[in-house]
Amino acid sequence: MKIILLGPPGSGKGTQARFIIEKYGISGISTGDILRDEVKNKTELGLKAKEYMDAGKLVPDDLVIKMVEERLNKEGYVLDGFPRTLSQAKSLDKILDRINDRIDYVIYIDISEEEIIKRMSGRRICKDCGSVYHLLFNPPKVDGKCDLCEGELYQRDDDKEETIRKRLKVYEEDTKPLIKYYKDKGILRRVDGSKDIEEVKNTIEDIISNI
C-alpha cells in the first residue's frame, strides 16, 4: 500500500499518518519530521534546512527528493508532506517508474484557512517521540506531558502566526497545483478535514479499504 497525504499545513496529515502506520504496519515518510530531526541533530542537511523552515519557506527540491528516495520501499509507506511542488511530484513519478511501482491513492485533506490557524496555534508536539496533540481538540492527559512516553511537549518554531501565514502562501502557490495533477491521474480522493479526528480517520480507512 502506497499512500500520499496531501493538504495544507495543519490539516491533520501527521495525525492521520500515525494512525495509518499503526493500523496497516507500513512505514511513514514525513519530510517535516525527518527535517526536524536533522535540525535537532545539527547535521549538514539540518543546518541548511533550518533557515528555510524557520522562514516558512520550502527546503530546496534536490535536498528533499534525495531524502525521500533513500526511504522508498516496495512493502508500503505513507508519504506525509511530500511531494509539495510539481517538480517533486514529477521526480517521484520518475523514481517509481524506474522501480516499476506506483502510488495507490493521494488523500487530500481539505480544510479552511480559519480552521488551520486554530489548529496550528494550539498544536503541541512531544520532544521525544514526536506525538502530536492539540490544547483543545486533542489534549494530553497530563498538562505538558506526552501520554505515550511522558516526554515534554513543545510548540514548533514555525507555528508562530506570522510564519503560519507565510506557509499558507507557499502552500497556495507551490503545493495546491498538485490537487489537479493527481486528479488528472485519477488517484486523488478528497476528505473533509474539518470533521473531528476520529471521523477523518474512518473516512480515510474507507478509502484505503478499496486498495
Binding site, annotated residues for ATP: 10-15, 123, 132-133, 195
Q: Using CA atoms, how far apart are residues 157 and 159, in angstroms rounded to an integer?
A: 6
Shortest Å distance, C-beta 138 to ligand AP5? 4
The correct pick among 15, 91, 131, 203 for binding ligand AP5 (CB under 6 A) is 15
| Residue 138 touching ligand AP5 (CB under 6 A) | yes
| Residue 28 touching ligand AP5 (CB under 6 A) | no
Shortest Å distance, C-beta 124 to ligand AP5? 7
Count of residues engaged in binding ligand AP5, rule: CB under 6 A: 35
**Residue 13: active-site member:** yes
| Grid coordinates given for 53 | 523552515
Q: Using CA atoms, how far apart are residues 154 and 35, in angstroms rounded to an integer?
A: 17
Continuous H helices in the chain: 13-24, 31-40, 44-54, 61-69, 86-98, 113-121, 161-170, 177-184, 197-208
**Residue 123: active-site member:** yes
Q: What are phi and psi of 162, to 5 degrees?
A: -65, -40
| Grid coordinates given for 168 | 499558507
Count of other CB atoms within 10 angstroms of residue 130:
18
Tell me the binding residues. Answer: 10-15, 31, 36, 57-59, 81-84, 88, 123, 126, 129, 132-133, 146, 149, 156, 167, 195
| Residue 59 touching ligand AP5 (CB under 6 A) | yes
Contacts for 132 with CB less than 8 Å, ≥ 6 apart? 14, 15, 18, 123, 124, 125, 126, 138
| Residue 32 touching ligand AP5 (CB under 6 A) | yes
**Residue 102: active-site member:** no
Q: Which stretch binds ligand AP5 (CB under 6 A): 38-46, 56-64, 70-78, 96-104?
A: 56-64
In the bound state with ligand AP5, the residue whose beta carbon lies nearer, of 101 and 199, is: 199
Q: Does an H or E element contain 188, and which? A: strand 188-192
Binding site for ligand AP5 (CB under 6 A): 7, 9-15, 31-32, 35, 52-53, 56-59, 64, 81-82, 84, 88, 119, 122-123, 132-134, 137-138, 158, 167, 196-197, 200
Catalytic residues: 13, 84, 123, 156, 167
